[in-house]
Structure formats: C-alpha cells, structure tokens
Amino acid sequence: MKKDIIRKFVALAACLAFCTGTSCGKVERPDDKENVTVSGNDSTTADISETTADASSENQSEVLTIPAATDENTSKTATNAEGEELPVSGQPSEGTSSYTASGSPSPQTTSGTGSSQTPSGTASGSQVTEISLTFYEVTLPVGGSKMPMVTMSPATAENKGEIWTSSDEKIAAVDSLGNITAVGEGKCIITVKSDDNPAVSASVQVTVEAAKEPAVADGVTYIEGILIANKTYALPASYNPGGLTNECYSAFMNLVSGAAADNINIYCSSGFRSYESQQYIYNNYVAADGQAKADTYSARPGHSEHQTGLAIDCNIIDDSFTGTPEAIWLENNCHKYGFIIRYPRNKDHITGYKYEPWHIRYLGVEKATAVYNSGLCLEEYLGITSQYTY
C-alpha cells in the first residue's frame, strides 16, 4: 500500500514536471477534435493537418506529451482481474469443451490434411465421434505460436480429452493444450486425437517460415517496414517525432468518428512520450522500488512504444477498462482504422506486458488487418522476442 502511494506521488511529480498544468491527464487534441470533426469532411481534413502541423511548436508538443504514470507502468501492479473474467482460450484437457468457439467452421474442409475423420460404426452417444478445429492450416514465423480451439462431438461425450502430436517437432512443437509453436522452417502436421476414441482425429497443416530479418536505420529497428519498440528493441534517445505522427493522428481521428457512429466514445488519454519523460518516470520508480520491481511495471527509457509516436492509450488506463463496450469496440474494430491491440490477453509472456485493452498501436490498415486476422500478437506475427538483454 505504501508503495502504491509512493508510486502515485512519483507519478504526480512526473506529471507536474512534464505537463503544463491544466493539460495534464486531460488530453489533448484528439479529444477536442472529436466534437469538431464529426461533420464536414473538408473542414475535418483541414483541421487535422493544421492541428498536426502545430504539434511541432513547443507548446503543442508539451500538451501532447503526457508522462503520466499510466499504462504499462502503474497497471502492471494491479492484480489481473481480467485474467479471471476473460475466458482463457482453450484450456480444456479435462474433458470440458466449454471453450469451444461458437461459430467454429465446419469440420469438413476441402484440403486433405484438414478434415476431421469420423469413423463409421460408432453410434454411442457418450463417445467422441468427431473433432473440429477453428483452423486447419497456419503459417507461422520461427518462434511464433497459435492454438486452435477444439470442438468434440457429440456434446454429450463424457471424455473429451485431447492427445496432441507433431509429425516433426523440429518444425513445430505442440503442447498438451494444442498450443502450436514454430521451431524451424518447413512443413509438418499437428494432429489431435480423441483420448476417448483415438480413431477420431483432426489435423492442422503447419508451414513455418524464417523469422523476418530486422533492418536497422539510425538505431531504429524495422521489421517488414514496421517500427519496433519493445523490451528487446530500443529506440535511441534522439528518436523524437515530437508527438503522434501525422498518419497516426489522422487515423485515430477516423477511428474516433467511426466509434462515435456506433455510439462509442473513444478518446486519447496518453499519446507521445519522449525518451526523457520515460527516463524521468522510470528513474523515479527505480528510486522508490528498486530496479527489479520497477522493471515489472515500467518500461525502461527507449523501450516504451509511446516514444514512437504511433501508440495511444485510450480512455481509462487501468484494468477497469477491460470488458467495457469501448474496450470491446476497440478490440473488434481498431484494425479497420490501422491499429492493433498491442498487448493482447494471454500474450504477456511474449509481448512482455500484460493485457492492455486501452493501448493501441498504429500499423496502417493493411498490416493491422493482417495481424488481427492472424490472431497473433505483433511479436509472434513478426517472429521476434520482447525481453531485456541487459
């Protein structure tokens, strides 16, 4: 408790140090714009470019810079309430199939490898006669992982245990829950059999591609043209777009309008944060809690995605945002405007951050949609890690 108070105090100090009083925590133009931009396309465009241009002026960029102790920082210490309220995808094994995806595709697929097999002559209602999966083919980069959800039929079957195997563990491994992890380049088949009736199975054709090669320019890492800032890849202190990038800002305004059309109010609570802001915040946390503890909830300077000018924390930056209509809308729609939920649920061991339904990252519509459709987090999609190496 005491630590929390200290943290809040530090956060406040950081906030006062970097914000110009009244603008702190309230934010900023996206909010203001929201009321203005809904009608009139021409004026909207003019508005946005004019405002965005302003971002380079000193005052404006101060307004945009919100080093509040939010986001990855404070929320890391919260107990993960969402872990309980959210259905953990596919943790069955004990014969439950409650995780079964609704609307899962028909088990019959056209490709030979993908179909489930129903043996003839088993009519017992209590025995598994069919297995269907949410996907039958997947392409992963080395290091990537993905888990199909399983439906065993009939629903009345008593033993819905699963037995997972890989035809080549040097290419892809699979654990007892069906989580497939890409190991090396090539193709293999992952098969799930019914524990109850091993004659019944379904399989996934896995293609593993080489991890994409990072390209470094002026100390900034790009993979497939995507700028990366995570625990493995840092930005140099000099990297400072001065605020959200024009493209990101415009895309966010479109998102706000799109949400408003669905009666959803999305606003920016934290956008750009400079290296210096993050350094100040982080150092204060280290002074208060020690580095080991601070690292569990605060990004080291250079490692915060907010330094890219491509990340936005929406609305309420704590676990209470989880499951709200706004959070659900963002999860289902933000890719249409070029954003992804950067730290999805159940991916914390890969992204290095726990589920943050409020933190969106701009990638452009095409890439964001591809990541969304893959069901992977960005690290998995690109085949990269997010771990401090110092």
Q: Which residue among 295, 313, 326, 348 contacts Zn ion (CB under 5 A)?
A: 313
- Residue 326 is a binding residue for Zn ion (CB under 5 A): no
Buried b / exposed e along 111-123 (16+ C-beta atoms within 10 A): eebbbbeeeeeee
CA distance 308 to 44: 25
Q: Which residue among 34, 71, 295, 348 contacts Zn ion (CB under 5 A)?
A: 71
Which CB, 146 or 306, lies closer to Zn ion?
Answer: 306
Catalytic, 213? Answer: no
Which CB, 188 or 310, lies closer to Zn ion?
Answer: 310
Pick out residues in 75-134 that bind Zn ion (CB under 5 A): none
In this chain, which stretch among 150-158, 199-207, 282-290, 313-321 interacts with Zn ion, using CB under 5 A?
A: 313-321
> Closest distance between Zn ion and the C-beta of residue 166, in Å?
36
Helix axes 275-289, 2-18, angle to 10 degrees: 160
Q: Is 265 exposed, middle or buried (0-12, 13-18, 19+ CB in 10 A)?
A: middle
> Closest distance between Zn ion and the C-beta of residue 306, in Å?
6
Which CB, 311 or 376, lies closer to Zn ion?
Answer: 311
For 305, phi and psi rounded to 5 degrees? -65, -20
> Closest distance between Zn ion and the C-beta of residue 165, in Å?
40
105, two tokens: 């595709």
In this chain, which stretch among 101-109, 133-141, 247-255, 311-319 interacts with Zn ion, using CB under 5 A?
A: 311-319
Which CB, 354 or 359, lies closer to Zn ion?
Answer: 359
Which CB, 74 or 181, lies closer to Zn ion?
Answer: 74
CA distance 311 to 332: 18
Among candidate residues 326, 356, 379, 380, the one labeled active-site is: 356
Which residue type sits at 144? Answer: G
Which residue in this structure is represented by tokens 């809690």? 289
Q: Are 131 and 201 in contact (CB under 8 A)?
A: yes
59 by DSSP, 3-state: which? Answer: helix
Which CB, 37 or 307, lies closer to Zn ion?
Answer: 307
Residue 245 CB neighbour total at 10 angstroms: 18
29, two tokens: 């133009």
In this chain, which stretch among 63-71, 77-85, 210-218, 254-262 interacts with Zn ion, using CB under 5 A?
A: 63-71
> Closest distance between Zn ion and the C-beta of residue 362, in Å?
12
CA distance 351 to 356: 11
62 by DSSP, 3-state: which? Answer: helix
In this chain, which stretch among 195-203, 218-226, 306-314, 379-387 interacts with Zn ion, using CB under 5 A?
A: 306-314
DSSP per position, 125-144: TTS--EEEES-SEEEEETT-
In this chain, which stretch among 40-48, 101-109, 238-246, 305-313 interacts with Zn ion, using CB under 5 A?
A: 305-313
> Closest distance between Zn ion and the C-beta of residue 11, in Å?
14
Residue 240 CB partners (closer than 8 Å, separation 6+): 274, 275, 307
CA distance 111 to 170: 24
Q: Where does residue 243 fall: left (phi above 0), alpha (psi -120 to 50 degrees), or beta otherwise?
A: left
Query: Which of 233, 243, 225, 251 shows the shortest CA–CA distance to 304?
Result: 233
> Closest distance between Zn ion and the C-beta of residue 79, in Å?
19
> Closest distance between Zn ion and the C-beta of residue 268, in Å?
11
> Closest distance between Zn ion and the C-beta of residue 170, in Å?
38
The interface mask with Zn ion, positions 335-364, x = CB under 5 A, is ------------------------x-----
265, two tokens: 């109010």
Total of chain residues touching Zn ion, rule CB under 5 A? 3
For 221, phi and psi rounded to 5 degrees? -95, 130
Q: Are 276 and 354 in contact (CB under 8 A)?
A: no
In this chain, which stretch among 23-31, 38-46, 65-73, 239-247 interacts with Zn ion, using CB under 5 A?
A: 65-73
Which CB, 114 or 344, lies closer to Zn ion?
Answer: 344
Which CB, 71 or 348, lies closer to Zn ion?
Answer: 71
List interacting residues with Zn ion (CB under 5 A). Answer: 71, 313, 359
Q: Which residues carry out catalysis? A: 356
